[in-house]
Each structure stands twice: as C-alpha cells, then as structure tokens.
Amino acid sequence: MSDIAIKFENISKQYRLGVVGTGTISHDLNRWWHTVRGKEDPYLMVGEANDRSVKGDSKYVWALRDISFDVKQGEVIGIIGKNGAGKSTLLKILSRVTSPTIGTIKAKGRIASLLEVGTGFHPELTGRENIYMNGSIMGMTKSEITSKLDEIVDFAGIERYIDTPAKRYSSGMTVRLGFAIAAHLEPEILVVDEVLAVGDAEFQKKAIGKMQDVSRGEGRTVLFVSHNMGSVRSLCNNGILLQNGSIDFSGNISDVIDRYLTYQENSGDKGIFYPDQALEDKFTFIKVYNSLGRETTEIISGDPISFKIGIQNSTFDKSIGIGIYFKNRYGERIGGITSFFGEINDSYSKMKDERIVHLQMPQIQLTPGTYTMELALAKKNLRRLDYHEEAMNITVIDGIPNVDSSIGYFFLNGRWTIE
C-alpha cells in the first residue's frame, strides 16, 4: 500500500555463540548460492530462543524470530521489552548495520539512525566534518547540508566545540550532535534507540519535542526504543512488545505499555544474577528484608528495610562504589542511595572472592506501588563495572494512614502543630 513506510516480513536473526565461521570456502559459496536463489541457508542450525532467564545448551541463538508488521507513513512506533528482547537488533537490521538471517524489510525513503554513542562518527573528524559526512551518506548535497548546519549546531548546543575532533567529545556531546544530525537532515524515517538515556534530562525533553515535531508536523516516520515508559507514552501512538525475540503484543501504545508493566510486575526475577565471567567485580545477588528480618519482595510503607548484596571482587579497589536506585512503573528513576566502599570501612580492600554488603534504611518512604530496583557498580571516575537495569521488583503496601500514590512517589515526615 502507498501509505506503508516500512514493511517487516518474517524477519529472523540468528547468532552463533563462540567462534564465527562455517570453516570452508565451499560452505560459504554454497550458502551464497542458496541465498541469491531465495532458498534457506543450508547450514542454518536449529537454535534456541533468546531467553536470558534460563541457561541454554545450543551454540546458536535466535535474537529475532518471525517478526512481521507494517509501519504507516507518519506513524510513531514505540518498541519496548526487557533487555535482550531483540529491540536493538531489529533497529540495526532496519538501519542496515546487520542483515537478517531470514526475511526482508522494505522501506521507503532515507533512514537516519541513532543507535549507539558514536555510531556514524569518525573520531578524527571534527563535529562540522562529521555533519557533512553523515549528510553525504544520506544522499544530500553540500548546499543542502550547509542550509541545515546552523540549526544542527544550535540544537546540539556545542557551538564552541564544533571544530574540535569528535574523539574529544564526551558521550553526552556525541549523543546531542548525533541526534541533531539525524533529526535535522530531513530523513523520511528516523530510528532512535535508547541511547538518548545518556543525555541530560533537559536534552531528553528537547529531543522528545523534536521527534514530535518531525512526526506530527512533518509527517515523518519514527521508530523509538526506550525503557522510559513516560517518554514512550507521550511520543508514540502505537507500539510493539518484544519478548525473547518474538512479538508478544502490538497495538495502541497504552495497551502495549500496560501489558509490558504487568509482565514486569509479575516476573519471577528474585535478584539472582548470572554474572559475566570476564568482569573482575560483579554482583551475584540482591536480597530484600522486611522489619522482621524476613526475605521478601513486599515492604510495608514506612517500615525499616534492609538489603544484602553479593559481590565478587578481584581488583581490591576502594574507589569502587555501589548504587541502588528505585524506578517507577514507567522506568523513570525517582531516587536512590550510593556509597563508595572505602567510605564504608577498610574491609573492601581485603575482600576475596564473594562478600556481602549490607544496607539498612530506617524507613522506606515510598508510597504504595510496584517499583523496579536498579543496581550499579562503578568507580569514582564513573566507569561502570557491572550494572543491572532491572535487578528486581519490590511492592510497597499500605502502612501509614493518609499516605497513598496521590501524593507522589515519596512521603515526607514532619510534625504538625496548631497555635
């Protein structure tokens, strides 16, 4: 149909774990010959679903499986799902960063993508030169790019650094310029992954506003991936929920978000992690205890709460810090607590193998509702060592009179008097 901007037809993507390659030139030629004739790869292996909650045995995994849907011109589609669901893989296939194992994508018009920090940038080129390079890749003439240059630089807010090599940019500057380029060079299709989370809150709001202008004012198509359900709800009109590489649900964005949040709240995640063995410092578990010292995921509002966090250590660095953050059901961070181990005591430098870090909070000041806990391990220079965006969910239940979600996410203590 003429109003279809993107058509996904039976898209599947398989990855081989470990060493890549079939081993012989004859295999590669045979695979190519089947591909040009539209036949299935003769060496395609039966793989497992991309389910991170279970331990797999196959050397092959399906990051995406049988994805089919249409995106209309001018539509804003939100693609949501937990980490590993296949969101970024789908956008990379659309952006031609990687090819599908099976299936085809038909897209009308130029595609501008913002997938990862630094994607599409040459580190040795200046910001100005990168703008011209990206515009040329999209098929624009030099005069067309020049007409947009001032607008791009102003939106990114990096006027002072526009003639500085991109390798000198911070991640925030890179994201701002990358988004400004993608949004202002007039693509028919704009693809934005959750990389916007790197930017500050002010820029995120500015970027959401620009995407609304691009879609509603200019009639362009937008595909948006984010864990911030508030941003997804405000920007998108329809959505797709991915689960283990397949479409679990699609439709109106409010219905899709509700389905995702219900799944998150009912998930069996109990805070047990299977850490990457390559990491030197990593989390192994987190447990929550109520005022009676019992392990639980339900806490009474206003009661004491304590945490036990398992950490494997090998670097013996006291500058390493831990952070626990709470997010609302829309994925927005609403509060947290952090500390560096050297500030707790001197025992961290003596840690061997796995140790347990304890945290006691005299009162949980969250109003009733379900919250997601985020767990981060990082150095003082903010270099991240280990990170769990959805470590576990906790449910806060009624415990204090006249305290409910109508007052916000937190309640404040105070003493009232009348004269």
The CA–CA distances, whole Å, from 24 to 13, 61, 183, 247, 297 equal: 22, 22, 44, 35, 53
pLDDT at 48: 45
Q: Give the closest residue to 390 by CA, choosing from 235, 209, 269.
A: 269
Sheet of 60-72, strand order: 48-49, 60-72, 4-16, 102-107
Any idea which fold 282-407 has? Coagulation Factor XIII; Chain A, domain 1 (2.70.50)
Q: Give the closest residue to 394 by CA, choosing from 374, 370, 367.
A: 370
Q: What is the tens place of the pLDDT at every residue in 193-246?
A: 876 666 666 777 788 888 888 888 778 899 998 877 777 888 888 999 999 899
pLDDT at 56: 46
Are 107 and 187 in contact by the 8 Å Cβ rule? The answer is no
pLDDT at 314: 65
pLDDT at 247: 94
Ranges of each domain in the chain: 4-109+188-265, 282-407
Its sign, for the CA torsion 276, 282, 287, 288, is negative
Looking at domain 4-109+188-265, its CATH superfamily turns out to be P-loop containing nucleotide triphosphate hydrolases (3.40.50.300)
pTM of this prediction? 0.64
pLDDT at 47: 47
pLDDT at 53: 47
Integer Cα distance of 235 and 111 in angstroms: 19
Spans in the chain with pLDDT lower than 70: 1-2, 17-24, 27, 39-58, 116-118, 195-201, 264-279, 314-317, 341-353, 381-382
pLDDT at 418: 93
The CA–CA distances, whole Å, from 306 to 42, 267, 320, 352, 390 equal: 55, 22, 21, 23, 18
